[in-house]
Structure 1
Amino acid sequence: MSETRNKGAVVKTAHQDLHSEQGALRGEHPGRSRNPVIKVADLAWLEFEKPDLDRAEVFARDFGFQVAARTERELWLRGTFAGSPCMVIRQGRTSRFIGPVFRASEQADLERLARATGTDVRDADVPGGGKTVGLLDPSGFPVRVVHCGEQLPELPEQQPLLLNFGTDHRRTNATQRPPREPSRIQRLGHVVLETRVFGRALDWYLDTLGMIVSDFLFLDGQRDRGPTMAFIRCDQGSVPADHHTLAMHLGPGTGYVHSAYQVTDLDAIAVGGEYLKERGYKRSWGIGRHIQGSQLFDYWRDPDHFMLEHFADGDLFSCDVEPGWAPMSTSGLAQWGPPATRDFLGASPSPQRVRDVVQALRGDNEMDPARLFGLLKAANS
């Protein structure tokens, strides 16, 4: 057990200093619901619309996806692991993110969720069939929960390189020559969203989908107002789950920030990055290693300016690890790597960003001048 001092009193927590410098103070958000409706098992896939599916497929293959199914109106992308697809891109007039789709452990969870939310269980439009419940989160994102009828089969893997460590020589009379090829995506890892109603959205995901918080971030000098970012994982009990399947942060806008896809190892990240660079794609930030989640990372922009991440070697937590608490700062994003870019931080001014700020400060949400100033300070710290 670790100790946290709160106004002279020592509060025992179960934080154990595993993943940030401090645990919760007395009375702070517990990071989980007492009685959630269901507990989702994982992200299933993400849904997008784009006007040019051919261009989307070219980038997808260069980034390391494989095509699970393709029609005139839909492109289903997958990784090498068995299970569900990673992403569906549907034909649309503009490029936009629709929302996340989570996987239910069993079909009975869909019935329970539908009863609790006043919705219906419907057929899922996924290769292989299945059932789904459609919801709307407090930010306005369509959120679906699915139980798929069939799993996609496993595909050949990109094998990790055999490495020598100190006096542990596993590779002799052989050279390292990783082929210059796309990083082979294994699976969808997480999605990051921005919201003006962070507190309401956080509680909704915990209460409705049974997710639990791994780490909270707060603004400097404003911890008493509560967190402004949460890294949220699926509750798989004693089975360790990704440090975060969903991350959300308070901001002046409402929308997609990035999504992350697991690859084999650091060499797969680096060689895949060289492959993307040679084909003219824009790196947003990387390569480095995060603090919250510990992932090796590399961020890229697709032709429609959506940000996608290659990652490897992320943290896995079981349900008994309680939330860590840390101040929000740009320097706190990585243990090592190049400085975070303005592109990654979304700090480059644009007419849309100005409109978002004005609208947020006028609207009924959790943004106010103090919060906005705190976010700007964090981005420059």
Structure 2
Amino acid sequence: MAEPATAHENLHSEHGAHRGEHPGRARNPVIKVADLAWLEFEKPDLDRAERFAGDFGFAVAARTDGALYLRGTFAGSGCSVIRRGPVSRFVGPAFRAVDAADLDRLARHTGADVRQLAEPGGGRVVDVRDPSGFPVRVVHGVEELPALPEQRPQTLNVGAAPHRINATQRPPREPARVQRLGHVVLQTTRFGQALDWYLEHFGLIVSDFLFLDGQRDRGPTMAFLRCDRGSEPADHHTLAMHLGPETGYVHSAYQVTDLDAVAAGGEYLTERGYRRVWGIGRHIQGSQIFDYWRDPDRLMMEHFADGDLFDATVEPGWAEMSASGLSQWGPPVTADFLGTRPSPAMASTVLGALRDDTNEIDVPRLIALMKAMKK
């Protein structure tokens, strides 16, 4: 067994790295992004996308003939851009640079161009592509949207410290008003290459690694990455990635006010015929209260509240990947969430991944992944 590393003062999990394992950060990244700016999607029916957006709790920042711009209540940039396209699909993420010089530095390093954004909000952008093939944007100077009215958090009577006297608790059954974009989760057949690319180009740092049972010596197969803001806390993960037999979008997550907003908003979505994927529960990595839904085009989206915030001093935790390790409490994880329902398309995808010797999927890893999703 590998010898444990020296003790971490700031380790947040039960186990840390062994000596010689991935450090979870780059020594000298090209730039350090501040946050996600927005996510980009394509959908054939923008009217239907706008109806779901309202039910899920987004506000519309702008609408053109060819695109829908969605936002939350917090001041800043939007949450997503949905462009009209032939099929419903995730396109890629956009990250926010700290300053204009970062765009120039990234452009020089990658050979890309810095150009003006010709759409609502303006600003400048550098377009690059990650090792998984996702187009990734880094933006700066986008117009900051003003704050919108917030959904009122509930006042709780907790143990011996009651705060609500002579008043009832009646959270309205209404859309869970989205405050902001939290994170995006991606699957990739080139996990190790993609992980290092995001650390080295954008200065992201790992909060938690997951590894496969009996294969820790082959390295991690999932990483939860946050922005390095120094002493300023950031979300436990802004981007999460895991190894799988295909490359694609898994889900995106949007913060709401509190547990009551998650629950009442979920009842509202149920009444309107939308499909819950998994929830309500509380995660382990990140600690969020979660609730997962499918939009009308079957893309998965998450309401969350009460997530962990880490500054740059916190070291990566290490844990074994398993389905039961995804939550502290809540209903059992569903096959829909895990993406493990057998189908001819899945069989074809797996066979194709095994035949491709340029990716990181092989038979032992595939078997270990399948076992992890049953544990």
- Out of 362, 369, 373, the residue aligned to residue 375 of structure 1 is 369
CA contact (8 A) 2:203 2:228 kept: yes
- CA distance in 2 between counterparts of 1:29 and 1:15 reads 18
- For residues 227-274 of structure 1, the C-alpha deviation after alignment (integer angstroms, 9 at most, x for no partner) is 000000000001110000000000001000000000000000000000
Deviation of 1:63 after TM superposition, in Å, equals 0.2
**1:368 aligned partner, one-letter code:** D
**2:190 corresponds to:** 197
Paired residue total: 374
Give 4+ residue runs of structure 1 displaced > 6 Å after superposition. none
- CA distance in 1 between counterparts of 2:284 and 2:179 reads 22
1:84 and 2:83 aligned:
no
**1:211 corresponds to:** 204
- Out of 117, 120, 123, the residue aligned to residue 124 of structure 1 is 117
**1:3 corresponds to:** none
Deviation of 1:13 after TM superposition, in Å, equals 3.3
- CA distance in 2 between counterparts of 1:223 and 1:358 reads 24
- CA distance in 2 between counterparts of 1:15 and 1:349 reads 44
**2:316 corresponds to:** 323
Name the SS for the 1:179 alignment partner: coil
Name the SS for the 1:289 alignment partner: strand
Deviation of 1:150 after TM superposition, in Å, equals 1.3
**1:289 corresponds to:** 282
Report 1:1-381 matches (<5 A): 7=2, 11-14=5-8, 16-18=10-12, 20-363=13-356, 364-381=358-375
- For residues 53-82 of structure 1, the C-alpha deviation after alignment (integer angstroms, 9 at most, x for no partner) is 000000000000000000111000000000
- CA distance in 2 between counterparts of 1:118 and 1:240 reads 32
**1:316 aligned partner, one-letter code:** L
Which segments of 5 or more consecutive residues in structure 2 lack a partner in the other structure? none
TM-score (norm 1): 0.97
Change (3 A) 1:93 1:10: closer
CA contact (8 A) 2:69 2:78 kept: yes
Name the SS for the 2:325 alignment partner: helix
CA contact (8 A) 2:11 2:316 kept: no
Which segments of 5 or more consecutive residues in structure 1 lack a partner in the other structure? 1-5
**2:141 aligned partner, one-letter code:** C
Deviation of 1:166 after TM superposition, in Å, equals 1.5
Name the SS for the 2:196 alignment partner: helix
**2:231 aligned partner, one-letter code:** S
Q: Percent identity?
A: 71
Q: Cα RMSD (Å) of the superposition?
A: 1.0
- CA distance in 2 between counterparts of 1:322 and 1:211 reads 13
Deviation of 1:134 after TM superposition, in Å, equals 0.2
**1:254 aligned partner, one-letter code:** T
Name the SS for the 2:220 alignment partner: coil
Name the SS for the 2:245 alignment partner: coil
CA contact (8 A) 1:253 1:353 kept: no
Deviation of 1:88 after TM superposition, in Å, equals 0.5
CA contact (8 A) 2:10 2:313 kept: no
- CA distance in 2 between counterparts of 1:118 and 1:105 reads 20
Change (3 A) 1:128 1:10: closer
Deviation of 1:374 after TM superposition, in Å, equals 0.5
